[in-house]
Structure 1
């Protein structure tokens, strides 16, 4: 089923509803463990670095599996892939719920991640097939709610679970939700994507795994523990970058590439994808650093920190939907300009944040920040994907999701290292005797540096947005 009519059928809307629900659930899992880690460390008597693998490993498996998704989407039906993915997620959630061992919990998270790595690009590829081009902004705006709101709500849900019950309640909730979505898919999901018999090039799979896995793992580890002083980080990144370079070169010469580089022949696609990467990097400056700062400077509990971020998550959801509708009516340029100007202004204000900043002030500023994100990230993603012809939809969605995962690895590592280095330098140079005051002052300086770095990304994004011009978009036939 492909749609070229003015209106989408009820069946198409139901299919997208099921897929977006699955996507939302999978993305909650990316951040739901962050608040639970101290509780898990205590329960299983494991080190912080070991526990961190519940999040790092999850991101790593997604980073490896998403690039292979283009092959899977072409080879298997929508029902086969989505039901398999949600089945893996159900198994992983159940294992995590009942396990008495940390090693089994870690394996369970990896199984969840395998399902997530299939679902993310599958949803986007299906949207490109079902949604007529003049409606894509609206639908991708709704899709952005899952991408941006789910990671924001994850810590709130886990904070509530841990404060009143235990970390196992998190997986009970995920398991029940996944079972409901799986049953819904079994009875209601229809096949709408055409399949073929592409051959899989094993050397490309190996290079993809080494490349994307190396980059995601290297940056993820860099944001923890010894950080950039760890030689293994640099070795892993070097292997990843070299493998990626060889991978890209091979794909350009193959008749049936694992990920086609054809979409990059469009300058609009290339610049839009890079702009999306920059905006996601800006978003991580808030998602990571703001709650971390207030937990330290204001001694907020995990639940209170989640509540601090919640209004921004809700604002982001509404703005993303509105931005999608506006994209279909007025185009991308006004949205990008207004959104990026707002981001520049709010980031400028956050460079003056201090321990005297109230949680209410931070909450309001973050809500305005999310308006800027909502007006930019959806439209720029729609603009990029509108340049991709039908036969390359699977490849375009794989590229977009891979870029998001790489941003998710680089952002936290970059901002954490900037904050840590600035903070340590300030502490070494300061004459303050009170250790608690010194710690807060040092962290404040570090956070200021983070937001200056984010401001640089915002300026580059604004200049890049000015170069984008409307190009003839590819309609689905």
Structure 2
């Protein structure tokens, strides 16, 4: 039994349900970053412990994504959406009323389970209900939620933490998550054809150990260093498990995650470009707040406000670039966007202890304008080549690799910054014949050395974006091997 979902009136509520739920999930993901110091004090835990609220969320989310292709094939769209939204709402309730750290972490992990199912589901539903000629516009709408939520998160979090308890963050998310669940219960329809694939238990074990080990190893390397026994162990276990996962998925008839999506050249190319862009994007997201708060002395709220204009511009541009994508394809959007991103990233590699607030805001806003032409158009260009039966696998693969790239990018750039700053500080002490006991002089050395380390990390990010720019010239317009045929699950 099938039924085409073709007209705007029927697509509208489905799109709205997904955008609202995705916005709330992504907002929750970024809300805690600024609030961690006050949470440490209130919950009486150290820095390594509190980081689990971020790392644990990312790990649970990252482990769920590879399994999402199976879940999307096995369960109806409506059931899966309600389950994902329900998990997220339940996790938010646990977080909002948790008396201590352990229950708070449990709530974050439950939230992550919902988000890990929801994001790939949104992509596959959009690919299913929109014809190829309108996918750019559709993915632009999806980008609106994916961009605006992380943009609003730090600013909102900064304001709340300065004026209220960190628990207010969850009180804000709670009614939004419940509204997303209730609205979706009335609006979501079954639009994806279901089947009864065999659940690959061994594949799940290998993917969990593989992606989980790599994600945790990369994340922990940012704080403990690459030489840490925990980091080395996690990376080795993750790499071995990932190799076993690849071997397993290529051998069985019905794989958990179809690796043959990489047979399609445009999907492979755009995935590589998106991985590079994701890593480079974290250069500004991670390094700029360090510079703003530790070097320039701005408050968390001021730091968030500096990033806000760029985020708003990126949100406005996302649907616009989607419409442009439908007209001209992804190549020139990617080339122009990456040219702007490369130039602005290079500008960030010339920061000084006297860099002004307005200058930083201008460069960051221009960088976000360039980024607005990249993420969703490039991903859509790759997914457009896949046959309809591989949409769920392509979406899951793309999301998984972006999660790994984000963790790797953060760890790599923070480690480069830290090591470079440490080396530079030693050189400045020797060159200036500074007494290490002189607190004022050492503070000045630390400031200059940190700026030097941040600049060097931005230089590395510049080379990354330049490599992606070269690859972007090879993007071409493609169509799926199978004609889109939107079906409603029985």
* Cα distance in structure 2, aligned partners of 1:468 and 1:175: 42
CA distance in structure 1 between the aligned counterparts of 2:259 and 2:218, rounded to whole angstroms:
24
Residues 1:355 and 2:353 are matched in the alignment: yes
Deviates more, 1:86-95 or 1:52-61: 86-95
CA contact (8 A) 1:60 1:216 kept: yes
1:11-160 alignment runs, 5 A limit: 11-160=10-159
Q: 1:430 aligns with which of 425, 428, 431?
A: 428
> What is residue 333 of structure 1 aligned with on the other side?
331
Aligned 8 A contact 2:5 2:191 in 1: no
- C-alpha deviation, 1:9, in angstroms: 2.7
* Residue in 2 that maps onto 1:215: 214
2:441 is aligned with 1:442: no
| In 1: Cα distance, 2:334 partner to 2:95 partner | 41
Aligned residues: 474
Q: Match for residue 457 of structure 1?
A: 464
- Equivalent position of 1:259 in the other structure: 257
For 2:262 and 2:268, how far apart are their aligned partners in 1?
Answer: 5
> 1:252, 1:374 → 2: CA distance?
35
Could you list the per-position Cα deviations for residues 377-406 of structure 1 after superposition, in whole angstroms to 9, with x for gaps in the alignment?
221111011011111111111111111211
Q: Structure 2 CA distance, aligned partners of 1:472 and 1:115?
A: 32
Per the alignment, do residues 277 and 2 of structure 1 end up closer, same or farther by CA in structure 2, a change over 3 Å counting?
Answer: farther
C-alpha distance after superposition, 1:351-390 (max 9, x if no partner): 1111211111111100100111111122111101101111
For residue 176 of structure 1, what is the aligned residue in structure 2?
A: 175
Distance in 2 separating the partners of 1:290 and 1:323: 26
Q: How far has the Cα of 1:452 moved from its partner? A: 0.7
Q: Is the 8 A contact 1:263 1:388 kept in 2?
A: yes
Rounded to whole Å, the distance in 2 between the matches of 1:4 and 1:201 is: 31
The whole-number CA distance in structure 1 between the counterparts of 2:3 and 2:322 is: 21
Distance 2:124 2:316 in 1: 23
SS at match of 2:24: helix
Rounded to whole Å, the distance in 1 between the matches of 2:27 and 2:335 is: 30
- 1:295 matched to which residue of 2? 293
Q: Secondary structure at the match of 1:375?
A: coil
CA contact (8 A) 1:291 1:309 kept: no
1: CA distance, partners of 2:333 / 2:3? 29
Unaligned runs of 5+ in 2: 435-440, 486-490
| Distance of 1:339 and 1:451 partners within structure 2 | 17
Structure 1 contact 285–411 (Cα < 8 Å) conserved:
yes
Q: Say whether 1:367 aligns with 2:374.
A: no
- The answer on whether the counterparts of 2:331 and 2:474 sit within 8 Å (CA) in structure 1 is no
Q: Aligned partners of 1:253, 1:349: CA distance in 2, in Å?
A: 48
Cα offset, 1:153, TM superposition? 1.5
Q: 1:473 to 1:392 in 2, by over 3 A?
A: closer
Aligned partner of 2:163 in structure 1 is 164
In 2: Cα distance, 1:188 partner to 1:374 partner:
29
Q: Distance in 2 between matches of 1:195 and 1:264?
A: 24
**Structure 1 stretch 45-54 or stretch 181-190: which is displaced more?**
181-190
Aligned: 1:227 with 2:235: no
Deviation of 1:4 (Å): 8.3
How many Å apart are 1:470 and its aligned residue?
3.0
- Once the two structures are superposed, the pairs formed by residues 236-275 of structure 1 within 5 Å of their partners are 236-275=234-273
Deviations 1:443-475 (A, max 9, x none): 111111111110111111011112223334444
Residues 249-278 of structure 1 show CA distances to partners (whole Å, capped at 9, x for unaligned) of 221222110001121111111011111111
Distance 1:147 1:344 in 2: 22
Q: Distance in 2 between matches of 1:376 and 1:160?
A: 30
1: CA distance between counterparts of 2:400 and 2:285? 19
CA contact (8 A) 1:3 1:476 kept: no
The answer as to whether partners of 2:5 and 2:11 remain within 8 angstroms in 1 is: no
Contact preservation (8 Å) 2:52, 2:105: yes
Check whether the contact 2:26–2:149 (CA below 8 A) recurs between aligned residues. Answer: yes
What's the offset of the Cα at 1:319?
2.0
Residue 227 of structure 1 and its aligned partner are, at CA, apart by 1.7
**1:311 matched to 2:309:** yes
**TM-fit CA distance, 1:188:** 1.8
Q: CA deviation at 1:201?
A: 1.1
Q: Which stretches of structure 1, 4 residues or more, deviate above 6 A after TM superposition?
A: none
The answer to whether the 8 A contact 1:2-1:130 is kept is no
C-alpha separation in 2, matches of 1:342 and 1:437: 33
Residues 415-424 or 231-240, more deviating: 231-240
Structure 1 residues without counterparts, runs of 5 or longer? none
2-side partners of 1:439 and 1:234: how far apart? 29
Give the Cα separation in 2 of the matches to 1:416 and 1:215: 17
TM-score (norm 1): 0.97
